[in-house]
Amino acid sequence: MEVKKKVSNMKSPTPSTKERIFDVSIDLFSKKGYNAVSIREIAREVGIRESSIYNHYPSKDAILDAIFAYFEKEMMKMRPPEAGNLDKITPDIFRERVNRTLNILKTPKMEQIFRICSNEQFRDKRARKIILYNLLKEPHQFTEKVLQKMLESKLIKPINPKILSVEFQYPIYSLFLEYMLSRCEGTPIDVVEEKISNHVKHFLNTIRREIE
């Protein structure tokens, strides 16, 4: 007797008004710049009265603050699970971290917020903090910490972790930036993806300790 599978008719939950305000603001800020977008325009795109926005956000700046907070929270996912236990990591953690970061940044919402951060970094200290800390300093510090642990465990060659972390992390950021700009321009990204892959591969080949 054939058992028929039930087809779920459940639809995705309809976004709340606050979620729609959030998403529309991300879209408008990324396309036009924060200063060029008004509360009135956000309300019009959402399909609500301008005064209704203040039931969810006290100001346009509060919306931007929520956007930056969302970006920081999502970027925490770039750390692989094994990063919590440095005693069990291997050099391959660098490849996984790069892949995780790239997958996060290329999601539509995160890609748009990255544009906002890039546009606002010289005007807004919150955006500047994201670029300097979340995308540059934190990954650099984490890389140095991991390399130091691997050096102590004799998993890698005796090379200065401070120098290695700079040599690995800062080219990666430049490549991520090139990747995001290429996506924005609508140009092929396979060349940049290959550059990223080759950089990680070269780094791992450089640091791996030869089996004696």
Q: Which CATH number does the domain housing residue 50 bear?
A: 1.10.10.60
Structure-token pair, residue 101? 């970061």
pLDDT band for 1, please (50, 70, 90 cuts).
very low
Share of residues in the chain with pLDDT > 90 (%): 73
**Of 127 and 85, the one with more pLDDT:** 127
**What range does the domain containing 28 cover?**
17-58
Q: Are residues 125 and 29 in the same domain?
A: no
Q: Are residues 181 and 105 in the same domain?
A: yes
Task: Give ∠ CA 57-39-61 in degrees, rounded to 5.
Answer: 50
Find which of 104-108, 124-128, 207-211 is predicted with most confidence, using mean pLDDT. Answer: 124-128
Q: For 2-19, what is the mean pLDDT?
A: 65
Q: For 61-83, what is the mean pLDDT?
A: 89
Element (H, E) at 169: helix 161-185
Q: Are residues 118 and 70 in the same domain?
A: yes
**Of 69 and 89, the one with more pLDDT:** 69
7: left (phi over 0), alpha (psi -120 to 50) or beta: beta
Q: Is residue 144 part of a domain?
A: yes
Q: For 13-29, what is the mean pLDDT?
A: 95
The reported pLDDT for the residue numbered 89 is 83
The reported pLDDT for the residue numbered 8 is 46
Q: What is the pTM of this model?
A: 0.86
The reported pLDDT for the residue numbered 140 is 92
Share of residues in the chain with pLDDT > 70 (%): 91
* 171: Cα within 13 Å, side-chain hemisphere: 15
Q: Residue 206 above 60 pLDDT?
A: yes
Q: Are residues 169 and 148 in the same domain?
A: yes
Q: Mean pLDDT in the chain? A: 90
Q: Are residues 165 and 147 in the same domain?
A: yes
Q: Is residue 203 part of a domain?
A: yes
The reported pLDDT for the residue numbered 82 is 64
The reported pLDDT for the residue numbered 42 is 98
Question: Across the strands, what pairs with 156?
Answer: 208
**Of 4 and 65, the one with more pLDDT:** 65
Please enumerate in sequence order all residues whose Cβ is within 8 A of that of 100, keeping only pairs 6 or more positions apart, or say none: 77, 78, 79, 80
Contact 36, 23 (CB under 8 A): no
Q: Which residue has the tokens 């459940």?
A: 10
